[in-house]
Structure formats: structure tokens, C-alpha cells
Amino acid sequence: MAFRWKNDLKDCDVTDEAVFLNRRQLMAGAAAGIGLAATAGGRVGAAGELVPNAWEDITQYNNFYEFGTGKSDPVTYADELTTTPWTVTIDGMVDRPADYAFEDIMKAMTVEERIYRLRCVEAWSMVVPWNGFELADLLDLAGVQEGAKYVRFETLYRPEEFRGQRNGWIDWPYVEGLRMDEAMHPLTIMATGIYGRDIPNQNGAPLRLVVPWKYGFKSIKSVVRITLTDEQPVNTWQQILPNEYGFYSNVNPNVDHPRWSQATERVIGGGLFQPRIPTLMFNGYEKEVAAMYEGMDLKKFY
């Protein structure tokens, strides 16, 4: 199954990692000769379903510059971050601006499982079995006012714990943004878990955005502030390198990064000799999201 739309899964129904791994092994064994195939859109099993990466791939190869720029810095220094207590300030153009305690958010939300492709702008990819809730439900909790056009997100700023924030080449905190229709889209979630476990610090504990049709850098981690606004936010990477990273950042194999091609991707966990696979328009979610960008020049709005 490529991903699930809203369904009636409860936390406790989420398939645990052992079952996933077991299924992978079973499939690899049973379908010897077919096994796991890497095709456009990620690794797929014998029945054509997306196969999530192993826990180790997902939690040990990360981008989280607050911990450092190396892929293993996040897992190495993850313990230096404390995530309790945690509050998310929701403010700006909302009816109920407040500091929402993470526990209260969790009580109000329905957590479900979503198996999504993750495509980094650096041209590598994974498939992640997230647990989370729709961002739209959280925004409804705060009551979005008419006239709000964008959502701006901020990561925690705490240099005592985030060693990467002790240097100044990024104007911390990390900021991201979405247009309102993107934020309200049912594919857009706030993830709080992976494989049915709490999301590890290196993946953005205790809650991070996941927008599967956009490059990974849009999926901002460890969110502490969500602001509804009528102005398009300037996101961190756009601020650092505006010619290379834009506001929209939709996965698009036809629009190359100025320094490399976006036509193909390297699948993490696929082994040294696995060939690169073609990248899909909107990361494979074209059917669900293309209508939002109808008539837009995607080369201009990269």
C-alpha cells in the first residue's frame, strides 16, 4: 500500500517494526528472484507496495543541522536535547492563540500511520512509516481565521542543547512555511512517531512536519511555533541560498538543482551496488497534489 488516507487506525493498531521487517524478509524469501525491487518511487515489494526502510536507516542517516552538518551528527548528539516539557505556540491569525502543551495536543489528535516516501533535495531517498496526525486537525484546534494565507513554522532555539546553533552561519531558528492549501492538504502531517515508537530526537522529536511531495528540507523538525499569516514566510534555505532553494520546493525531476540533477535518486539502505532510481513528479503524489499548482510555472516557483 503506497500510503493510507485518513483511516480508523488507533495508536495501538499500528504494525510494529518486527512485523514490517518480518514481512520484508518473507517477501524477499518467498519471491526469490523477484524479492525487493527498486523502481521509480522507491523500493517495492512483490505486491507492488512501498517497503519502509529499516529503523537503523531512518534514525542514523539524518539531516538536522541543529546537531551538526554530518549525517551521523544527529544520532550522535541526539541525547543532548530534552523534549519534556514541550509546548507549541500557535499564534497569528487564529481564533485561539495559545501555548499548547504537547500532551494536550496528543489528547486532542487522532494518531494514524502513514507510509511515505521521503526525498531529500540532495537526491537520496527513503520510505518512512510515520505515526502522526493531520496538520489540518491541529490548525482547526486553534481556529484559522479568514485572511490567513500561509503557515510559518519554527524549530526550537536552544543553543545549550543544540550544538549546531552555537555557530552563526544559519540565522537560527530554522524556519519553514507552507501555503494554506498545502497546510490543509490531507497528506500533510505532524509526525510524532516512527514504526509505532515515539519519534527519536534525531528525527525531530517530539513533533515535526512531514510534507511528502516536497523536498525533505520543508519537513521542519522539533516544531515550537506555528504562525498563521497573510505573508509568505522566508524559509531558512531560501534565505541562505535563494538561487538554489525556493519556497515551494516541490519534488520535480524536470527542474534540476543548479549544481546537480534531480532526475534520479539514491535509495538509502539499498546497498552499494543498487542503481539510482528515477525520481517521480511530486515524489509520486502527483495525483493527489498537482491540482494545487495548476497554471504555475514550476521552474520559476521552485
| Interacting residues with ligand MTE (CB under 6 A) | 62-66, 118, 120, 155, 174, 203, 216-217, 219-221
Nearest-approach distance from CB 248 to ligand MTE, in angstroms: 15
Q: Measure Cα distances from 125 to 131, 180, 209, 262 in Å.
A: 19, 26, 17, 12
Nearest-approach distance from CB 120 to ligand MTE, in angstroms: 4
Closest to ligand MTE by CB, 28 vs 170, is 170
Which contacts (CB < 8 Å, 24+ apart) does range 280-284 have? Answer: 280/40, 280/41, 280/251, 280/253, 281/251, 281/252, 281/253, 281/254, 282/213, 282/250, 282/251, 282/252, 283/117, 283/119, 283/212, 283/213, 283/214, 283/251, 284/2, 284/40, 284/41, 284/42, 284/117, 284/213
Nearest-approach distance from CB 38 to ligand MTE, in angstroms: 18
Nearest-approach distance from CB 50 to ligand MTE, in angstroms: 16
Nearest-approach distance from CB 217 to ligand MTE, in angstroms: 4
CA 96 to CA 42: how far, in whole Å?
A: 41
Nearest-approach distance from CB 146 to ligand MTE, in angstroms: 30
Nearest-approach distance from CB 79 to ligand MTE, in angstroms: 16
Using CB atoms, what's the residue nearest to ligand MTE?
216
Closest to ligand MTE by CB, 22 vs 72, is 72
Nearest-approach distance from CB 204 to ligand MTE, in angstroms: 6
Closest to ligand MTE by CB, 64 vs 195, is 64
Bond into 85 cis (ω within 30): yes
